């Protein structure tokens, strides 16, 4: 009689008071996927991710463009959780955002702060529960989740969907199990003896983190942010150029279904294939965006040369707008340390060259957008 082999990621349901919580197995173990399609997707994902990473090394002043990649990731990841802020709103300053939209805007800004902070810490602090808690603290500070214990691992039951654990779509493990599961997850990240390719390891880590759901709020955003951090920490990326949440947001139902199938069947191949497809599609899109940025920058540079003595200041202005493609004339003038009159003249020059467009329609307090450039991130 053939012996039944338990699926490696199959957890157990544990009876709690009036409901059952899901307890995943520990993951600090080697495993082998069954679907050979995983090998093909893995090869393509690694190739494209490497090609995307090259742009971080070769594109001059790449950090100006990276800021928009972070904004794109922040807006997409937050939209999965129900915020309405798009990339156009995310790049505005607080006073430019309508009062009724500021709560969503604040959440996206906190995601950007969390990402920037985490990347700045990677050289000093490895990816760890300590770092994750700090990311979470920044993410939930002074926004709607500020009463959900920012920076603290939960000490009560949470759930996904429904009004309480008894009618929930999914009930993560009981809070008493969370510290042990997180310790196992941390060991898994740093265990170099496990013969698992990095991208597979990142995929499994994301599944396990979302299943543990260690915080009362913000788990999805923290888990998606960790994907990019892991790739940077392993030197697969030098900069956060992969906005993978864009793919997850556009395929939201498939994203949730792929994660949930692991909990139902214990088989992780389908989730890994979905994840690798996300890396492939997002890397390809990132490569295309960088190619278009380079071409657009060359076009701008040629046009600006026609401004003669004003070309240097105009070039600096456009360079600033690669990080913040919407600005009003006052802020432009202040950033360039020039008078309002000079700033306005530069803006008029760039509008005449079809580089900037006025978007408010106001006769006073006019604001401009680097519209073709911003459009590359809105596609």
Would the pLDDT of 347 be above 80?
yes
Residues 199-250 pLDDT 10s: 999 999 999 999 999 999 999 999 999 999 999 999 999 999 999 999 999 9
DSSP assignment letter at 364? S
Helix axes 102-121, 62-80, angle to 10 degrees: 130
Residue 159 DSSP code: -
**CB-side exposure of 168: number of CA atoms within 13 Å?**
15
Closest CA to 359 of 89, 150, 107: 89
pLDDT of residue 337: 93
Domain identity same for 203 and 314: no
Does residue 267 sit in the same domain as residue 310? no
Question: What rounded mean pLDDT belongs to the chain?
Answer: 92
Q: CA-to-CA distance for 374 and 72, rounded, in angstroms?
A: 11
Same domain, 203 and 340: no
Instruction: Give the integer Cα–Cα distance in Å for 226 and 127.
Output: 8
* Residue from 336, 334, 368 nearest 349 by CA: 368
Whether residue 374 is predicted with pLDDT greater than 70 in this model: the reply is yes
With respect to residue 363, please indicate whether it lies within any of the assigned structural domains: yes
Answer yes or no: is pLDDT of 379 > 80: no
**CATH number, residue 228:** 1.10.3290.10
Which CATH number characterizes residue 326's domain?
1.10.10.10
**Secondary structure tally for the chain: helices H, strands E:** 15, 5
Angle 320-324-327 from CA coordinates, rounded to 5°: 90
Asked whether the predicted pLDDT for residue 1 surpasses 50, the reply is no
Are 266 and 320 members of one domain?
no
Choice among 77-81, 167-171, 235-239, 302-306 with the minimum mean pLDDT = 77-81
Instruction: Please tell me whether residues 40 and 129 are part of one structural domain.
Output: yes
- pLDDT confidence of residue 6: 62
Last residue within a domain, chosen from 253, 288, 323: 288
Tell me, yes or no, whether 311 and 274 share the same domain: no
Q: Any bridge partners for residue 326, and if so which? A: 369
Mean pLDDT confidence for 84-93:
88
> What does DSSP say about strands 367-369 and 12-15: parallel, antiparallel, or unpaired?
unpaired
Minimal CA–CA distance to 86: which of 66, 101, 67, 99? 101
**Structural domain boundaries, residue 354:** 306-378
Per-residue pLDDT reduced to its tens digit, 173-184: 999 999 999 999
Q: What is the pLDDT, as a whole number, of residue 235?
A: 93
Q: How many domains does the chain have?
A: 2
Question: Mind giving me the DSSP string for 68-85?
Answer: HHHHHHHHHHHHHTT---
Q: Same structural domain for residues 85 and 20?
A: yes
pTM of the complete model = 0.93
pLDDT digits (tens, 9 = 90+) for 248-264: 999 999 999 999 999 99
């Amino acid at each position: 009689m053939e012996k039944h082999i338990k699926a490696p990621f199959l957890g157990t349901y544990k009876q709690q008071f009036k409901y059952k919580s899901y307890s995943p197995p520990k993951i600090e173990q080697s495993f082998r996927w069954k679907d050979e399609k995983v090998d093909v997707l893995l090869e393509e994902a690694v190739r494209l991710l490497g090609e995307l990473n090259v742009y971080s090394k070769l594109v001059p002043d790449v950090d100006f463009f990276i800021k928009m990649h972070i904004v794109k990731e922040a807006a997409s990841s937050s939209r999965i959780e129900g915020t309405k802020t798009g990339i156009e709103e995310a790049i505005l300053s607080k006073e430019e955002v309508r009062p009724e939209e500021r709560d969503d805007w604040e959440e996206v800004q906190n995601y950007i702060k969390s990402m920037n902070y985490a990347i700045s810490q990677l050289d000093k602090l490895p990816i760890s529960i300590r770092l994750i808690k700090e990311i979470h603290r920044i993410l939930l500070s002074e926004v709607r989740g500020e009463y959900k214990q920012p920076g603290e691992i939960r000490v009560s039951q949470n759930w996904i969907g429904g009004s309480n654990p008894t009618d929930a779509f999914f009930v993560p493990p009981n809070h008493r199990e969370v510290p042990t599961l997180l310790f196992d997850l941390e060991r898994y990240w740093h265990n170099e003896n496990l013969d698992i390719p990095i991208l597979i390891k990142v995929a499994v880590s994301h599944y396990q983190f979302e299943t543990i759901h260690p915080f009362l709020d913000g788990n999805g955003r923290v888990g998606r942010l960790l994907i990019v951090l892991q790739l940077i920490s392993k030197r697969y990326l030098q900069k956060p150029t992969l906005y993978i949440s864009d793919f997850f947001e556009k395929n939201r139902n498939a994203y949730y279904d792929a994660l949930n199938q692991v909990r139902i069947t214990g088989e992780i191949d389908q989730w890994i294939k979905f994840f690798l497809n996300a890396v492939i599609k997002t890397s390809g899109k990132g490569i295309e965006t960088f190619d278009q940025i380079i071409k657009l920058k060359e076009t701008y540079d040629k046009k600006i040369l026609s401004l003669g003595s004003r070309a240097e200041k105009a070039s600096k202005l456009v360079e600033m707008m690669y990080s913040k493609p919407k600005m009003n004339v006052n802020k432009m003038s202040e950033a360039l340390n020039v008078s309002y009159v000079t700033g306005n003249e530069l803006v008029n020059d760039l509008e005449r060259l079809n580089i900037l467009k006025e978007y408010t329609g106001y006769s006073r307090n006019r604001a401009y957008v680097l519209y073709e450039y911003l459009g590359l991130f809105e596609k």
